[in-house]
Every structure is written in structure tokens, then in C-alpha cells.
Amino acid sequence: MSFRNASLRIARTAGASIAKRALSSAATRPALRTATKVAGVRGVKTINFGGVDEVVYERADWPREKLLEYFKNDTLALIGYGSQGYGQGLNLRDNGLNVIIGVRENGASWKAAIEDGWVPGENLFPVEEAVKKGTYVMNLLSDAAQSETWSTLEPLITEGKTLYFSHGFSPVFKDLTHVVPPKNVDVILVAPKGSGRTVRSLFKEGRGINSSYAVWNDVTGKAHEKAQALAVAVGSGYVYQTTFEREVNSDLYGERGCLMGGIHGMFLAQYDVLRENGHSPSEAFNETVEEATQSLYPLIGKYGMDYMYDACSTTARRGALDWYPIFKDALKPVFEKLYESTKNGTETKRSLDFNSQPDYREKLEKELDVIRNMEIWKVGREVRKLRPENN
Ligand SMILES: NC(=O)c1ccc[n+]([C@@H]2O[C@H](COP(=O)([O-])OP(=O)(O)OC[C@H]3O[C@@H](n4cnc5c(N)ncnc54)[C@H](OP(=O)(O)O)[C@@H]3O)[C@@H](O)[C@H]2O)c1
């Protein structure tokens, strides 16, 4: 695809006004956002997202001093130190809050936590001990482990504590997971929209991930406030409200669709057809993955798809305009099937069944090995080496 950067277009083409529009709309986007309606309550903003008003909460609503004051009598017991435990735990620690980690003694996470400076007996404990000590129990075990450990942990989550999740999975699909949160405690959720590594790296850069929050039980009348505060404390830049059900359905659906499964399927289909038609591996990879990830997707992220249509060649634009409805019509039934499979618990059941098998890591390795050995991804390793910054 031929793509011109906006300044080249302005200089070269009669369509300069289109490019100017694209640039100016991109440039005005932040200004539009700050100019949105501000509701009466301090710091809470109602933003019109594509015609629908939604309330968002921002980091500015919870400066560090306010967080320190809010959680001054609390012990945040974060159990599980995988991707999210690492990101959220270190951010909480850097924010100066009293956070302790609970993981299986001498397991992989225990060792990882020690490497990150958590000290056994001081702020690193076996899971049950941490849960006993915490006023907040932040359940960041793997989803399968939340189900496996629930019968042991549930009696320890006593009145006065707050139970926190980063995914609606366990309580929403309680018939499958058997995780039924106690009725006498606040139960909240903060779901960062990215991996725990990103939660950490954005925080360190002084930025923040976007997260959703939800409340399952509001016993104290303060559950919403607690979730908003914790969302900022773990490293969110802004937070929007959802429900446990909507969070789990959109999350499972998204990762199986455009975020991973769907995009992987689309890459493979496009690559195969190019190869079957005599294109070389490097050409097929470049036209399928490299140009997408290195050139186009970052621009879509920064300025939007509408900008892309303005900033590409007239030939590319015509083709994409003609073909996107064909792809949409072909794919929509697949997405409908996927949403149903998410909503009716099929995806949860499959995930629990697979991930709780004792030999699940070996089985997973076999499947991942198939992907590693696909021609497309082997080609990708070579193409990435050719990037000047990797030479
Ligand atoms: N990863 C993401 O990008 C992401 C994003 C948003 C939300 N979430 C949600 O955040 C939560 C945590 O996810 P994650 O990806 O960070 O978790 P993960 O990496 O899958 O979880 C690993 C943690 O669970 C522990 N664990 C596993 N089996 C256990 C068992 N039987 N008993 C005790 N501990 C056990 C592991 O300890 P050992 O090392 O001892 O095995 C490790 O500390 C989940 O609810 C997930 O859906 C994840």
C-alpha cells in the first residue's frame, strides 16, 4: 500500500485541503476532549463518546497525597504475582501505599517477587497469610487459580475487608468457577485495558493505562469511591464505569476477536493467499504484518481510521472503501457466534477446563510451538532483524 505522510501530501497534491482537514481534526482532538462538559462534582467528567454520555474519572481526581490519606489505615494484600500482580503491585508500592504480596512459597512468582525487591516476612507472604493481613484483598491469581483456591480463601475474606478483582470472570461465571463473593463485603473490580507489563511501563513513563471499574457489592456505600481510588493507585490514567458482566463479556470477546484471535486469523489468511499466488515469504510478510504494525496501526492508534483514509493514496483509499464492507459482512456472523459463546459461558468453561489440567503448560507449549514454527512468524523473525534499529 502506498502511504504518504501528511506533510508530503500537503506539498504535493491538489488534495491538500483533505490532508489539512485530517491534520486539523487530529490536532484538535485533545482540545475537544478538554472542552467537554464538566459535571458539577469536582473532577468527574461526563464525556460524549460518539453520541453517548459517559462519566469518566481521571488520575487528576486522585493526586498522590489524597491516595495516601485515603488508604492510610489499609493493607492492600495483592495475591498473585503474574502479569497484573507485577504491574499493579509495583505501581502501588511506588505510590507509597502499604501493599503486601501473597503468593505460593518458593513458586515462580515468589522468586520473581523477591527479585523485584519484595521481602519475605515483611511485604511478601504465603497467599493465606497475606489475605488474613489485608483490609483489601486484591485477587490477581490466574482465573483458573481463583476458582481452585476459593474454598480456602473465602472464609478468610471477613466483614470489613474489600474484595477486588481485575476481571469479572470468577464471580460472573460462578456456576462454573464456584467463586461466590461474600455478601457482607464490598466487591469491586478494576480492569486495566492492557497487560501488566504495560500497566507498569506506562506508569514509569508518567503516563497511565485506561481501565474500567465496576462494583458487585456495595455494603459500605463507598465501593464506587474505593474502586476509583484503587484504579488510579494501580496506575490508571482514566477510568470508565462498567459492570462485572459487561467487563467479562467484552474482554473475552475482544481478546478472541480483533485483539488476538481474529487478527491472527486474518494475518494467516492473507499471507497464505499471497504465498499460494507465488509471492515470496518476505513480500507476503511485509504486505501483511510489517507494514501494518510498523506504519499503519500506530497511525490508526494516534489519529484514527478516518485519518488513514485521508492520508493514504487514492488507489489504496478506493480499494479499502470498496472492500471493508465485504470483510465486515463476512466477519459479523463470526463475531456474533463468538459473543454468544462468551455470554453463555462456553469460553469460560473451556478456559477453566484447559487451564486447570495438571499438564496444561506442556499442552500449551505444543500449541505455541505450532505457531512459532509457522512460516509467517519465522519470516517475521528475519524481517525484524533487518530493521535498521536492530542492526
Ligand atoms: N494478563 C493480562 O493482560 C490481564 C489484563 C487485565 C486483567 N487480567 C486479570 O488479572 C488477573 C490476573 O491475571 P494475570 O495474567 O496477572 O495472572 P497469571 O499470570 O495468569 O497468574 C499467575 C499467578 O497465579 C498464581 N497461581 C496459579 N495457580 C495457582 C494456584 N493453584 N495456587 C496459587 N497461586 C496460583 C501464580 O503463582 P505461581 O507462580 O506460584 O504459579 C501467579 O502468581 C486475572 O483475573 C486476569 O483475567 C489480566
Cα–Cα distance, 285 to 274 (Å, whole number): 9
Count Cα neighbours of 235 within 13 Å in the Cβ-side half-sphere. 30
Give the Cα separation of 246 and 159 in Å (integer): 27
| Ligand 1 lined by 238 (C-beta under 6 Å) | no
Q: What is the distance between the alpha carbons of residues 254 and 146, in angstroms, rounded to a whole number?
A: 22
The full set of domains in the chain, from first to last, is 45-242 (3.40.50.720), 256-390 (1.10.1040.10)
Q: Is the dihedral of CA 322, 324, 325, 327 positive or negative?
A: positive
pLDDT on residue 6: 40
Segment 354-366 shows an average pLDDT of 90
Task: Determine the Cα–Cα distance for residues 144 and 81; give it in Å rounded to an integer.
Answer: 14
Share of residues in the chain with pLDDT > 90 (%): 81
The whole-angstrom separation of Cα 349 and Cα 176 is: 7
Task: List C-alpha distances in Å: 292 to 154, 263, 318, 337.
Answer: 46, 11, 18, 27
Q: Please determine, for residue 196, whether its predicted confidence score (pLDDT) is greater than 90.
A: yes
**pTM assigned to the model:** 0.85
Number of Cβ within 10 Å of residue 282's Cβ equals 13
At 11 the pLDDT is: 29
Does the annotation list 201 as a binding residue? no
Which atom belonging to ligand 1 lies closest to the Cα atom of 81? 43
* Pocket mutation for ligand 1, best pick of 86, 142, 156, 361 (most atoms within 8 Å of C-beta): 142
244 lines ligand 1 (CB under 6 A): no
pLDDT in tens, 259-310: 999 999 999 999 999 999 999 999 999 999 999 999 999 999 999 999 999 9
Out of 8-17, 75-84, 313-322, pick the least confident: 8-17
Is 178 one of the catalytic residues?
no
pLDDT for res 306? 95
pLDDT tens digits, 87-109: 999 999 999 999 999 999 989 99
For 203, other C-beta atoms within 10 Å of its C-beta total 21
Q: For atom 35 of ligand 1, which residue has the closest CA?
A: 145
Q: Which three cell numbers stand for residue 298?
A: 500506530
Q: Kind of pairing, strands 209-217 and 186-192?
A: antiparallel
Q: State yes or no: pLDDT of 362 exceeds 60.
A: yes
Q: Is the CB of 208 under 6 A from ligand 1?
A: no
Give the pLDDT band (50/70/90) at residue 2. Answer: low
pLDDT in tens, 38-58: 333 445 688 888 888 888 899
Beta bridge partners of 163: 137, 187
> What DSSP state is assigned to residue 186?
E
- pLDDT the model gives residue 389: 86
Alpha helices in 35-139 (DSSP H): 64-70, 83-94, 108-115, 127-133
Q: Quote the ligand 1 centre to 268 CA distance (angstroms).
A: 29
Q: CB neighbours of 212 closer than 8 A, spacing ≥ 6? A: 189, 190, 191, 193, 239, 240, 241, 242, 247
Minimum-distance ligand 1 atom for the alpha carbon of 148: 31
Q: pLDDT tens digits, residue range 157-189? A: 999 999 999 999 999 999 999 999 999 999 999
